[in-house]
């Protein structure tokens, strides 16, 4: 028997990907954005989206659906179902939504992290997906490493070390 090699699949900003174990989905430098992880532990199918904004209806350019919480999460879910995931088994973990723009006190941009997290939670609730764990808020960025074999997520930060969710 040969060891199966785990491939790392990178998810950029305003991007999403779905894969099956053995693989690690990673996204680096999530600040006010939110990383959304959906996982079916039975089939070991998982997906990650790195959203920038809460709602596509608030902007003119809507071509990239992965950029917005209200379109990225349903699209990610659909991709997982198309790949064989079972909707009943899918659970979520979210990270990010930091307060990165302190210098812009009263600007809508200053609260974008918080608004992103609120919208992500609202969409997950509408889709009836249980949110298992979250690491949100604060004023620091996060990098995520999601192991599709174990379902564990390593959250790496420059100021708060590494934690596992």
Which residue in 18, 24, 30, 33 is the catalytic one? 33
Q: Where are the alpha helices (DSSP H) in 61-142?
A: 69-82, 112-126
pLDDT at 61: 76
22/8 Cα distance (integer angstroms): 9
Buried b (16+ CB within 10 A) or exposed e, 138-165: beebbbbbbbbeebebebebeeeeeeeb
pLDDT at 128: 98
pTM of the model: 0.92
pLDDT at 100: 81
C-alpha torsion 22→149→156→39, nearest 10: 110
Helix (DSSP H) and strand (DSSP E) numbers for the chain: 2, 10
**Does the annotation mark 29 as catalytic?**
no
pLDDT at 58: 74
pLDDT at 63: 85
Angle between helices 69-82 and 112-126 (to 10 degrees): 40
pLDDT at 1: 40
Low-confidence ranges of the chain (pLDDT < 70): 1-4, 102-110
């Amino acid at each position: 028997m040969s060891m199966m090699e785990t491939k790392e699949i990178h998810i950029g900003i305003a991007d999403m990907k779905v894969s099956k174990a053995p693989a690690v989905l990673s996204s680096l430098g999530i600040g006010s954005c939110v990383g959304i992880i959906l996982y079916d532990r039975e089939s070991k199918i998982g997906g990650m989206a790195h959203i920038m904004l809460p709602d596509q209806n608030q902007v003119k350019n809507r071509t990239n659906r992965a950029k917005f919480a209200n379109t990225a999460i349903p699209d990610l879910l659909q991709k997982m179902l198309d790949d064989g995931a079972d909707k009943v088994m899918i659970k979520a973990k979210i990270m990010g939504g930091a307060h990165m723009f302190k210098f812009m006190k009263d600007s809508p941009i200053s609260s974008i992290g918080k608004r992103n997290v609120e919208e992500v939670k609202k969409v997950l609730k509408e889709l009836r997906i249980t949110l298992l764990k979250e690491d949100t808020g604060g004023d620091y960025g996060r990098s995520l490493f999601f192991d599709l074999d174990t379902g564990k997520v390593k959250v790496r930060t420059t100021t708060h070390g590494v934690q596992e969710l």
